[in-house]
Amino acid sequence: MTSAVSFKQVSRHFGSVRAVDAVDLDIAPGEFFAMLGPSGSGKTTCLRLIAGFEQPTAGSISIFGERAEGVPPYRRNVNTVFQDYALFPHLNVLDNVAYGLMVKGVGKAERHKAAEEALSLVRLPGYGARRPGQLSGGQRQRVALARALVNQPKVLLLDEPLGALDLKLRENMQEELKSLQKALGITFVFVTHDQGEALSMADRVAVFNDGRIMQIGTPEDIYQRPKTRFVADFVGSSNVLPPDFVQRYSGQHRWGSLRPESIRVGRATSGEGVAARLVSTNYLGATTRLALDADGLKLHAVVPAGTALPVEGEAVVLTFNREHLHLMDEPA
Amino acid sequence: MRSDRGQSAPLGLKIAAACGLLFLHLPILLIFVYAFTTEEKSFVWPPPGLTTQWFAVTWNRPDVWEALSLSVRVAAISTAIALVLGTLCAAAVSRTKFFGRETISLLVILPIALPGIITGIALRSAFALADIPFSFWTIVLGHATFCVVVVYNNAVARFRRTSGSMIEASMDLGADGFQTFRHIVLPNIATALLAGGMLAFALSFDEVIVTTFTAGQQQTVPIWMLEELIRPRQRPVTNVVAMVVVLVTLLPILFAYYLTRDGDQIAGSGK
């Protein structure tokens, strides 16, 4: 099967900066794919390489089997929802949405009809006559989405699509984007620095760091079985355990990771386990996050709210199931 | 700067401000008054009598028409050149980073900072060196040097305020470079270009110094006026022309001010 987007050893260097460095990537048609990473990790450059705003320094990119190098953005069947939405302030909402059809020479009546349909799709029917300046952030986001979807792209690129929205709106949009993607069957590629967003929305996630992909996998893979210390730490703030510590429990001299929610915290008198001291507690609503110090090793545990807790500074004993201790590929 | 609205300025300040304004504008009013005087050889105050005959006399003087027509043509063509070059330069400087960008930006603005007489001498010696005879086009070239700056400054300010991703969005939606310019860039910078263009026109229309160095025997309106002041014949004709020039240049500047008052400063208008 042809990949929707395929990167073969793609690099994009800006002078001495390796924004994207020898990246291999295959995105399947109809997939909801997330590129996750801290800022400056190369995820946005990858998106811009697919859109055509950047050209690779080395390697080859193909979109549905067609070579993409040297093809300008306006000849790619790929559309982008920009981080700042980039709506055209001098056009009303309907003309904004119809813009792509207008430059392709579609007649006025036909393109306005298609634009109206796209606006209904993003649940903004009847907003066509307004100016972008008269819309709220969430509405602008929907207009940007409609403006991209009206062109029936093969791949839709979303650059931090929910970054500028408040929490409640963000949660709504997450669900909506997901159901929209299912209904349309278009390949979505979205860039985010929010691991929660990536895990909850994507079929597969690529974790970026320093211009390279650290790991690609399903959200569960990435979360439960991180391959490197970076992934363990960045995705869901796992406890990264040094090889010496891990050897005591698994017999193998390798780096390990342990989810904060896998750690049970007991009174110092309750028998065997890792001796530690409770440094601080952080009330998070549904859970409480504990900062612990096990003989110099800093650990975090998350316990459900309502659990009886030791006081700060008290000695505690930590226990966990051996199968929750994940061994990473990264060499010790 | 605006202080509390309810508080009125002290009387002394009001008087001082009024005096300042009068000092600036009374001489201009005086020119208007002399356009109606019956005394034609010298300017006498108060005017011995008032007449509108000078308007008819001016209308029938072919040299006035020649000067006016030359000035309008020079201003129009210099402005057109400035619009094209100034916009292109502003787009390049504000859109992309390249080696020597700051230098180019400085070099473009320099002609307006240089005294006109330097620009004039420089151009004159350059024309002489290249064996270019003085003509309509040498005047246009001279004027274009400072008209470009005005357009450039206005366009660059607007480009900075327009989001760069808008152009990318347009390309992304299938528009090539030309379509993007026509549908996205131009509508967003149109008012800035109109303002810059009108300022450029006004600047060119009353330019004297550069013109004296780059014109041959031809006279633009300001040059014609200078000549006219030396000859004591039908003097109020000069005043009638002056009134027309004031109106022709003031209206576009006012209009330009209204178009750009929402934040853009009209840089270079102080020349």
Which residues contact residue A33 at a Cβ distance below 8 angstroms, ignoring those fewer than 6 apart? A27, A187, A188, A189, A190, A202, A203, A204, A205, A206
Residues B27-46: what's their mean pLDDT? 79
**pLDDT at residue B264 is higher than 90:** no
H or E, element range at B251 = helix B236-260
Give me the pLDDT at residue B269, please.
36
Beta carbons within 10 angstroms of residue B72's beta carbon: 16
A186 and A126 belong to one structural domain: yes
Chain A residues closer than 8 Å to B262 by CB:
none
Which residues contact residue A124 at a Cβ distance below 8 angstroms, ignoring those fewer than 6 apart? A93, A139, A142, A143, A146
Helical ranges in A52-107 per DSSP H: 93-103
Residues B28-48: what's their mean pLDDT? 78
Pair A80, A100: CB distance under 8 Å: no
Helical ranges in chain A per DSSP H: 43-51, 93-103, 108-121, 137-149, 167-184, 195-201, 219-224, 229-234, 243-250
A311 and A249 belong to one structural domain: yes
Q: Please answer yes or no on whether B176 and A51 come within 8 Å at the CB atom.
A: no
Nearest to B264 by CA among B90, B85, B23: B90
Q: Please answer yes or no on whether A72 and B176 come within 8 Å at the CB atom.
A: yes
Query: pLDDT-based confidence at B266, cuts 50/70/90?
Result: very low
Query: What 3-state DSSP class applies to A112?
Result: helix
Residue A319 sits in a domain whose CATH number is: 2.40.50.140
Closest in B176, B184, B187 to A74, CB measured: B176
The terminus-to-terminus CA distance of chain A in angstroms comes to 38
A225 and A176 belong to one structural domain: yes
Closest in B163, B172, B188 to A90, CB measured: B188
Residue A49 sits in a domain whose CATH number is: 3.40.50.300
Q: Which of residues 115-174 of A touch B (CB under 8 A)?
A: 147-148, 151
- Residue to substitute from B162, B168, B173, B180, interface A, most A β-carbons within 10 A: B173
Give me the pLDDT at residue A168, please.
83
Give me the pLDDT at residue B251, please.
81
Q: Please answer yes or no on whether A103 and B173 come within 8 Å at the CB atom.
A: yes
Q: Which of A233, A263, A283 is the last residue of a domain?
A: A233
Model pLDDT for residues B93-141, shown as the tens digit of each residue? 887 778 888 888 888 888 888 888 888 899 889 988 988 888 889 889 9
Is A298 inside a domain boundary? Answer: yes
CATH homologous superfamily of B62-260: MetI-like (1.10.3720.10)
Highest mean pLDDT among A88-92, A280-284, B217-221, B255-259: A88-92
Phi, psi angle pair for B4, to nearest 5°: -55, 135
DSSP class of residue B224?
H
Pair B36, B52: CB distance under 8 Å: yes
List, as one string, the DSSP characters of A18-43: EEEEEEEEEE-TT-EEEEE--TTSSH
**pLDDT at residue B5 is higher than 80:** no
Angstroms from B174 CA to nearest CA on chain A? 4
Q: Please answer yes or no on whether A74 and B163 come within 8 Å at the CB atom.
A: no
Q: Please answer yes or no on whether A99 and B171 come within 8 Å at the CB atom.
A: no
The interface pTM score, or ipTM, of the predicted complex is: 0.81
Q: Count Cβ atoms within 10 A of the Cβ of residue A97 and give its class: 0-12 exposed, 13-18 middle, 19 or more buried.
A: buried
Phi, psi angle pair for A201, to nearest 5°: -100, -35
A223 and A251 belong to one structural domain: no
Q: In which domain, by residue range, is A99 found? A: 5-233
Q: Which of A233, A266, A282 is the last residue of a domain?
A: A233
Is A332 inside a domain boundary? Answer: no
User: What is the Cα–Cα distance from B239 to B234, expressed in whole angstroms?
Assistant: 10
Segments in chain A below pLDDT 50: none
Pair A94, A112: CB distance under 8 Å: yes
A99 and A68 belong to one structural domain: yes
User: What is the Cα–Cα distance from A217 to A199, expressed in whole angstroms?
Assistant: 10
Which residues contact residue A259 at a Cβ distance below 8 angstroms, ignoring those fewer than 6 apart? A223, A224, A236, A238, A239, A324
More confident residue, B269 or B245: B245
Closest in B172, B183, B187 to A73, CB measured: B172
Which residues contact residue A326 at a Cβ distance below 8 angstroms, ignoring those fewer than 6 apart? A224, A225, A226, A232, A256, A257, A258
- Residue to substitute from A103, A141, A150, interface B, most B β-carbons within 10 A: A103
Distances in Å between the Cα of A293 and the Cα atoms of A122, A239, A278, A300 are: 49, 12, 7, 9
Q: Please answer yes or no on whether A73 and B184 come within 8 Å at the CB atom.
A: no
Model pLDDT for residues B45-104, shown as the tens digit of each residue? 777 777 888 888 888 888 888 888 899 999 999 999 999 999 999 988 887 778 888 888
Give me the pLDDT at residue A112, please.
94
User: What is the Cα–Cα distance from B18 to A212, expressed in whole angstroms?
Assistant: 69
Is A273 inside a domain boundary? Answer: yes
User: What is the Cα–Cα distance from B81 to A143, expressed in whole angstroms?
Assistant: 39
Angstroms from B176 CA to nearest CA on chain A? 6
Give me the pLDDT at residue B8, please.
77
Domain boundaries, chain B: 62-260
| Number of domains into which chain A is organized | 2
Q: Please answer yes or no on whether A73 and B168 come within 8 Å at the CB atom.
A: yes
Compare all CA atoms of chain B with the CA of A150 and give the residue at the minimum distance. B173
A130 and A174 belong to one structural domain: yes
Could you give the percent of chain B with pLDDT greater than 70? 92
- Confirm or reject contact between A103 and chain B (CB < 8 A): yes
Is A18 inside a domain boundary? Answer: yes
Is A93 inside a domain boundary? Answer: yes
With a threshold of 0.95, does the pTM exceed it? no
Is A243 inside a domain boundary? Answer: yes
A264 and A168 belong to one structural domain: no
Highest mean pLDDT among B6-10, B174-178, B212-216: B174-178
A176 and A274 belong to one structural domain: no
Is A150 inside a domain boundary? Answer: yes
A278 and A200 belong to one structural domain: no
User: What is the Cα–Cα distance from A25 to B5, expressed in whole angstroms?
Assistant: 64
**pLDDT at residue B223 is higher than 80:** yes
A181 and A254 belong to one structural domain: no
